[in-house]
Each structure stands twice: as structure tokens, then as C-alpha cells.
Chain A
Amino acid sequence: MRTKLFQYEGITSFLSSLSAIAAGLLVGLIILLVSNSQDAFPAFVMILKGGFEDGSRGLAQVIYFAIPIIMTGLSVGFAFKTGLFNIGASGQFKMGAFVAIYIGIKWSFVPEEIHWLVALLGAMVAGAVWGSVPGILNAFFNVNVVITSIMMNYIGMYLVNMAIVKTVYDSLKNQTKPVLKSAVLPKAGMDKLFNTSNVSIGIFIVIIAVIAIYIILHKTTFGYELKACGSNREASRYAGINEKKSIILSMVIAGALSGLGGGLLYLSGSGKYIHVLDELAPEGFSGISVALLGMSHPIGIFLAGLFIAHLEVGGFNIQLYNFVPEIIDMIISVIIYCGAFALLFKQIISRFVTKPVIDTDTSGIEPAMISQANDTSDMGGAEDKRGHGEDKI
């Protein structure tokens, strides 16, 4: 029974993420000890407690932090399934945020009941447009998505800064003006439940997005096409899948997810504004961490987003002990570094817990390891891996 459980790939993925987290926390503890050994342990406990520190308000804070990074995490993870490394989540996020604010302030002609919804849709469209550019360039001209999406981050940032100053600028505070009340996300009783105003129906929209992405990837022919393209673009072409369409659509959807994340954060009514600064939206990069930690699986991303938000709340709290909250960023970075070794952890775990399944009765079967050392070794395999590795990194 035990072996059966571990044969399940999801479980080993989960365990390897857990090992990465443990390693990250250990390093965090060391940093705490080095900087102030006296308060290190209570501070460490506080980090672990994170959002559970402050009752329901703490939980609300975790959700508030988690919403944007789960969305950007979904964005990065979804594109990754199609073999694209969407570093541009930051730019897509910012575009979405700006358009949401713009609509939230300027489009007073929209019926009040659906004003927030229209603003969110606008955010999605803006993100999608921003995501589509690297997608199109990659599909038609084979330009690496990493490069174009990085450039799109900067273009997006400066464009948004410029647009804010021209349209919805609060020159006194060097930031955007507040959105109209009708554009703020409805609370749907969440504020009473959590006894704070930071929460809204945003978390439900995130859950819907997670489920939708899960269904697309795992249940539909569209998801099948995307994954086939991501895993082996040449084979998809051979199979008659329109790989250009798949790549573009994948980036469009990824962009829409990031854009929606931007809309959800800035319409949450928490007093958050876009400052006119030369600074890329950090949520986009947190999304990469979240996607890596969540193994690009929608549910994994959801949990990883909550977890990182939980740590961030903890990091915020350790300021009580005179620690800087940046320690949390370091812990998260170590977790991500270790997460990059997730494959290694995965191998170690499966080596310790399971034996490879080999049926000795049937001839012609050999484990992958052996077939690599085979007489007529198929070099195609190695080349293949190298082939689409280029695109991922």
C-alpha cells in the first residue's frame, strides 16, 4: 500500500516540494541566528505561524497577499506547460492593473452593478494583449519568449507610468487616483466573516480560475494540444497540431491570468495604488516562484501561493523583533533554489521509497536507464531533451 501511494507521481512531486521548503526554512533559521541569536527562535516561530498569528485578520492578510501571486503563478505555470517560460507576468500584471484602475475611474457610464466586472474583464484583455506579443513573435519568428517578455516588462512599466500621468494621476502622492466605489470588488460578506476589509470575492474568482485552468489542462483536447506542444513541438507538428496557434493562445491565456491578478489586487479596496516609479511589479516574479514551487500544477500553485503569502505575513510580523522582513525574501529564494532541484529530490524520494516497476516476464522491456546504454543507442532521445530545453530556459 505504501509503495502504491508513492508510485503516484503527484505524491513524489509534493514530497519534493516539501523537502525544498524544509531546506529553505532551515537556511532562514540560520540567517536569523546569525543576525540576532537571542530572538531567532521566537521570530522563527512567528514566521512559521505566519497568518495564524492574528486570528481571522491574519488569515485575511494571507489571502490578500496570495491572490495576485496565485494568479501570476497560474500564468507562469500555464505557459510553462506549453513549453514557454513566461517571465513577462510582471508586465502583463501591470498592464492589467492599470486598465482596471483606468476603467474603475473613467468608465462611470457603465452600470454600477457590473462596473467592477467590466474593469476586471478589461484587465484580462490588457494582460492578454501584452502576453500575445511574445507569443506571436515566438510562433512566427521563433524569437525566444524569455527575451521578448522581459522587454515587454519594461515597455509595460514605462507605458503604464506614462499613461497614469496622462490620465488618472494623483500628482500629490505620485500615484493613481482611487477608483470609483462601484469598481471596488464586492465584499460578499467576506469582510464580516474575517472582520477586516481586505477581503472580497477576489478569492472566489481565483478559485474559479484555478479550477478552469485545471480543467483546460487536464480534461480538454485544447489542453492536450498545449501540453503536446510544450512537451515536444516537433512531434505536435508531425501530428498536425497547429503549434503556432497553441503557442499564441497559451501566451494569451497566460497574459489574461496575470492581467486579472493585477485587476484583483488594485480593485480590492485595500488602499493600494500604482506608484509612478521605475519599478517592475514584483508580483510577476513571485509568480515564477509560486509556479516552480507548485510544480506548474494549478492546485499546487494555489497551495504554493497561499504558503508563500503565509510566510510573507510572518515576515511582516517579525519586525516586532527588529528583524527586517527581507529575511522572508531570502527564505523564499532558498526554497525556490531548492525547488529547482525538485527533480533531484524527486529522484531521491522515488529511489528510497519505490522500486522501479519492471516485469521480468515480458521480454523487450528495459528501464530507461538501461536503454540509454543500449547497443544501438537512440541519440534522438538526448537530442530531443536538449531541443526543447532551449526554449524553456
Chain B
Amino acid sequence: MEYVVEMNNITKIFGNFKALDDVTFKVRKGEVHALLGENGAGKSTLMSILFGLYQAEKGSIRINEKPVKINNPNDASSLKIGMVHQHFKLVHNFTVLESIILGRETVKMGVIKKDEARKKVIELSERYKLRIDPDAYISDITVGMQQRVEILKMLYSDSEILIFDEPTAVLTPQEIEELMKIMKELVKEGKSIIFISHKLNEIKAVADRCTVLRKGKYIGTVDVETTSKEQMSEMMVGRKISFNIEKKDIKTGEAVLEVENLTIKAKNSKKNMVNNVSFAVKGGEILCIAGIDGNGQSELVYGITGLMPIQEGRVLIKGKDITRESVRKKSLDGMSHIPEDRHKHGLVLDFNLQQNAVLQTYFEPRFQNKGFIKFNAVAEYARKLIKQYDIRSPRDEDSIVRNMSGGNQQKLIVARELDRDPDIVIAVQPTRGLDIGATEYIHKQLVAQRDQGKAVLLVSLELDEVMDISDRILVIYEGEIVGDLNPKEITVEELGLYMAGSKRSGGYEN
């Protein structure tokens, strides 16, 4: 069997941390080869070595059966290796055509030969069924389209080995389906694809074979067809994972958080990011706001939590109007907020774990006396959280938070927010960037809150998350609620249509 990529016995060491330990990875010509692993398993490090961003300490690379040395991304390009990064690297005020030829412009006397480029781009897009408008501006096209531009960019430079780094993270279900089709098309044309992911459904749908990494070690390569999702996830995590989260059957209580006719303007423009939105979250329910990123869900949460001014409308907790209260007052009134961006809002990264553990409670009598911090009490409290929520860090309560892993940073925030015994928990993308183990843990914690009769408002872009743990789904599209759905009654595809704005439930009522 012919291999286009062979990475043999790769070892990569950072400091005294073995990011990759004797990993072997082989891709056959014309296949979609999935690379599966949790965060920190070494997927990206391995690909960075293939792409020339890092050099391995040990091991060899062969491309098309020839031993090669890849010292930088240019070497990779000349070996016809292309990569679609997770965060697209596009210039927003360029047209699609300009973006595709960027870095590979053919010039005549210093003038770009655009017509020639346009011909080639149109040819490529027809051949691989990647419909695009070469003259549209990047800023005007959807994320799915931007991804196509990235793919075309690889094809334009004649890449034969295409690396997709978690390409579906930002797409709607429909766009994901499209992408899968495109990938199959590419393979049919003889390209080889490396597909980095931790989503088993997608791997099942599109990949031929799958290599699993765990904590920098090679676990195995399997045929996707004959391996079940459960088997793959067990290889990835090293233990059995339950995909179904058990929820108690409980009656929902009174409305805890009520939002009435909320309107919020964008920071520097007149556009309404949130437009006349009303809903209520009851005790004992997880209400999920689903939607594609940028449809006003962030602003909605900022408005409710007091981080952004509200133009119109009211926010009530247990019937009490808190619209104009300070953030501190809202938190004392029983509102907890697991923020979207844990580095920007959730944590002071240069503080240590214990200082972060009391970020909203440091002024309470249990932690201070006449303005002097009770260091022992703070440390003790941090140790309690560490134990109770299984937060792991290099130096326990003295760890600088910046040096903790993303999953444990998030656990710390969750611990802090839930331990305050809130009435309403507002969690925004609480599992973003986390591996399966940590995701499962945080889902369980949120469900536990609900089972105790607390209200949970979950904002999520992950459809699986939305479908798995919510009791009710509101779909937000361009700042408006366009659907009030029951997760038991609808399908993922239907939900996707609502999120893309092509479907709307008629009489939405609160």
C-alpha cells in the first residue's frame, strides 16, 4: 500500500514535557484519515511538525515514499502539504479572489495578472464543486464560505495533502454536511486528507481510517467502518464515557430569571444586536439559547449580567427588577455567570488559584476582616474547591492560573460560580475547547444544579450539547428569538434550519 505521509516514531519534547512520545502516523493516498484525540493529546503538535512549525527530537518523516526534512512551512508547501487552520487566516477587506492568490500572485512587470488567476480559481471551484463568488469581500461572506476560500487557497497552490484542523467547529449542520461532501470530492480527485477532530459523529461520517492519540502516545489506527463510536472514544479517553446524561424527572418551578423586551445596541454602531427579546427561565430547567456565533447571544448575556448597557427592557430575578443594578449587586442577588471567554472575563490569569477562587466573594466577612484579607480562610476555601471539583494544577492553591490547562481553568470557574449557591446560573459555551472528560464533568454539574431546582441558562454553539442537556431550546437569529423548541421533538437538522434563519416558528410566545 502506498503511503503519502509517513511519520515514524516521532518524539517531541517541550522542556521536560513529552508532547509526543514515539508516535507513528501513516496516511494512504486518496483517503480521509482522521486524527482523533483529546485536547493536549498531541494532535496539533504532530501536525505542526508535519507542517514545519516544529522539529521533532526523534523520528523520521517520509512524503511520497521519500525521506524529507521539513524545517518550515515553506518546505511543507513545496512538498504540496496545505493546511486549513481552525481560525481562518483571511484578510477581511480582500475579495475572495485576492485572498486565494495572496502569497502566490503571478505578476507581470509588478502588476498582478488577475485574469489568469481568476480563470484558474473558477476552474478549480468547478472541478471540486466549491461554489464561490470570486469578487465578494471576505467580510461579507459566511464562515462556511470563508472556509471554502481557505480550501481553494490550498488547491490553488496545488496541495496534494490537505490538513483540516477541526474544520467543523464554526459551521452549522448544513455547512458541515456540505464540507463532508467537499472532502469526499477532494479524495475522489486523488487528494489525501488529514482530518483533525474530536467529534466522533463526523469521523464516522467521512473518514476511512482513524489514528488515535492519547497524552502524546500513539494508541492505534483503526478502520472507521468496523469500529464503533464507543470503541473509539474509549481509545481516546482511556475509559468508558457515557454519552447520555441522566436527568431526574422534576417539575419546573417558578420563573427565576425573566427577561422582558430586551434591546441592546452594538457597542459602536446603531445596530440592535439584541432586538426585543423576552423569555423566562424556570427553576429546575435548563433553557438553552442556540444560535450561530455572532447572532446576539453574547450581547444578550452581557446585557443580563450587566457588562453591557441595556437600551430597553427589564431583567428580573425572582420577580425583583435588577435591570440597572451593578454587577456586584446582581451577583449578590443570586446570579452566577460562567463567561464565554474565560481568559478575558472569567479569570485574572496572573493571579493564583486561590485569588481567583474568591474573585466575587473576597469582600465577604469570611474572607476579610476590616479590609485585611484572611489568607488562611482563602487558602482553605480554595483547597475545598480543589477537592470537591477535582481541579488539577501543578501547585494546587498556589498555582498561577495562566499555567493551568484550559480544562482545569474552566473547572475552577465552574467551581467558583456553582459554589456560591446561585439561583440562576448563566453558562456561556461552558465546554468550549474542552475535551470529552471535562465536558462530561461540566455537563453533569449543570444538570446537578437543575436537579436541585435551580435555573440554568445555557448559551451554546455546540448542537450536541444543546440537544443533550437542555430542557427547552430558544433559537436566536440576528438578535431575535425565532424558535421555542422541545429537544425531544425536533431533529438536529431542523434545529440547524432555525439557526440558519431559514425557518421560524410562527407565534413565538414566552
Q: Which residues on the B side are within 8 Å of A240 (C-beta)?
A: 326-331, 360
Q: Decide if B371 touches A222 in the complex (CB within 8 Å).
A: yes
Q: Decide if A365 touches B408 in the complex (CB within 8 Å).
A: yes
Q: Which residues on the B side are within 8 Å of A239 (C-beta)?
A: 327, 331, 359-360
Q: Does B510 contact A (CB under 8 A)?
A: no
What's the least CB distance linking B460 to chain A, in Å?
15
Q: Does A371 contact B (CB under 8 A)?
A: yes
Interface centre among B165, B166, B305, B348 (most CB of A within 10 A): B348
- Given A221-B362, A224-B362, A368-B403, do A358 and B348 touch, yes or no (CB 8 Å)? no
Interface centre among A363, A365, A375 (most CB of B within 10 A): A375
Number of A-B residue pairs at CB separation under 8 A? 158
A385 to chain B: closest residue by CB: B349
Q: Decide if B392 touches A366 in the complex (CB within 8 Å).
A: no
What's the least CB distance linking B195 to chain A, in Å?
13
Q: Report the Cα distance A132→B147, complex, angstroms.
A: 50
What's the least CB distance linking B217 to chain A, in Å?
12
Task: Pick out which of these stretches binds chain A: B11-19, B98-106, B128-136.
Answer: B11-19
Q: Which residues on the A side are within 8 Å of B17 (C-beta)?
A: 356, 358, 366-367, 369-370
- Given A221-B363, A374-B406, A384-B349, do A238 and B327 touch, yes or no (CB 8 Å)? yes
Task: Pick out which of these stretches binds chain A: B37-45, B150-158, B288-296.
Answer: B37-45
From 334 to 393 in chain A, residues with beta carbon under 8 angstroms from any chain B beta carbon are 355-359, 362-371, 373-381, 383-384, 387
Interface 1/0 per residue, B329-343 and A, CB below 8 Å: 111000001010111
Q: Does B126 contact A (CB under 8 A)?
A: no
Q: Does B182 contact A (CB under 8 A)?
A: no
Q: Which residues on the A side are within 8 Å of B394 (C-beta)?
A: 357-359, 365
Q: Report the Cα distance A75→B421, complex, angstroms.
A: 40
Q: Report the Cα distance A35→B404, complex, angstroms.
A: 52
CB contact between B339 and one of A228, A238, A364, A384 (< 8 Å): that residue:
A238
Interface centre among B166, B367, B405, B437 (most CB of A within 10 A): B405
Q: Does B235 contact A (CB under 8 A)?
A: no
Q: Does B275 contact A (CB under 8 A)?
A: no
Q: Report the Cα distance A132→B345, complex, angstroms.
A: 27
CB contact between B433 and one of A220, A231, A365, A378 (< 8 Å): that residue:
A378
- Given A377-B44, A383-B344, do A367 and B14 touch, yes or no (CB 8 Å)? yes
Q: Does B351 contact A (CB under 8 A)?
A: yes
Q: Size band of the B side of the interface?
A: 35 or more
Q: Which residues on the B side are within 8 Å of A371 (C-beta)?
A: 40, 405-406
Q: Does B355 contact A (CB under 8 A)?
A: yes
- Given A220-B372, A364-B438, do A377 and B86 touch, yes or no (CB 8 Å)? yes
A215 to chain B: closest residue by CB: B372
Q: Which residues on the B side are within 8 Å of A2 (C-beta)?
A: none
CB contact between B373 and one of A221, A367, A380 (< 8 Å): that residue:
A221
Q: Does A197 contact B (CB under 8 A)?
A: no
Q: Does B48 contact A (CB under 8 A)?
A: yes
Residues of B that sit less than 8 Å from A by CB? 14-17, 19, 37, 39-41, 43-45, 48, 54, 86-87, 165-166, 169, 196, 198, 215, 305, 307, 326-331, 337, 339, 341-351, 355, 359-360, 362-363, 367-368, 371-373, 392-395, 402-408, 432-433, 437-438
- Given A221-B371, A224-B355, A237-B327, do A376 and B19 touch, yes or no (CB 8 Å)? no
What's the least CB distance linking A383 to chain B, in Å?
7
Q: Decide if B339 touches A376 in the complex (CB within 8 Å).
A: no
What's the least CB distance linking A384 to chain B, in Å?
5
CB contact between B40 and one of A219, A359, A374, A380 (< 8 Å): that residue:
A374
Q: Does A45 contact B (CB under 8 A)?
A: no
Q: Decide if A365 touches B405 in the complex (CB within 8 Å).
A: yes
Q: Report the Cα distance A364→B215, complex, angstroms.
A: 9
Q: Decide if A373 touches B48 in the complex (CB within 8 Å).
A: yes
Q: Decide if B345 touches A365 in the complex (CB within 8 Å).
A: no
Q: Which residues on the A side are within 8 Å of B393 (C-beta)?
A: 365
Q: Does A329 contact B (CB under 8 A)?
A: no
CB contact between B392 and one of A227, A242, A363 (< 8 Å): that residue:
A363
Complex A-B: 7 CB contacts under 8 Å: A219-B373, A232-B348, A237-B327, A369-B14, A370-B17, A375-B165, A376-B166
What's the least CB distance linking B247 to chain A, in Å?
26
Q: Does A11 contact B (CB under 8 A)?
A: no
A221 to chain B: closest residue by CB: B368
CB contact between B349 and one of A222, A359, A381 (< 8 Å): that residue:
A381
B165 to chain A: closest residue by CB: A375
Q: Which residues on the A side are within 8 Å of B347 (C-beta)?
A: 232, 235
9 closest A-B pairs (Cβ-Cβ)?
A240-B328, A380-B343, A376-B433, A240-B327, A238-B345, A239-B359, A384-B343, A232-B348, A362-B392
Q: Does A234 contact B (CB under 8 A)?
A: yes
Q: Which residues on the A side are within 8 Å of B48 (C-beta)?
A: 373
Interface 1/0 per residue, A215-251 and B, CB below 8 Å: 0000111101001100110111111111000000000
Q: Report the Cα distance A47→B507, complex, angstroms.
A: 84
Q: Which residues on the A side are within 8 Å of B41 (C-beta)?
A: 375
What's the least CB distance linking A373 to chain B, in Å?
6
Q: Which residues on the A side are within 8 Å of B15 (C-beta)?
A: 355-356, 358, 367, 369
Interface centre among A220, A224, A227, A242 (most CB of B within 10 A): A224
Interface centre among A234, A358, A364, A365 (most CB of B within 10 A): A364
CB contact between A364 and one of B87, B405, B432 (< 8 Å): that residue:
B405
- Given A221-B373, A376-B86, A384-B343, do A370 and B14 touch, yes or no (CB 8 Å)? yes
Q: Decide if A373 touches B327 in the complex (CB within 8 Å).
A: no
Q: Which residues on the B side are within 8 Å of A220 (C-beta)?
A: 371-373
Q: Report the Cα distance A232→B359, complex, angstroms.
A: 12
Interface centre among B15, B344, B368 (most CB of A within 10 A): B344
Q: Report the Cα distance A366→B17, complex, angstroms.
A: 8
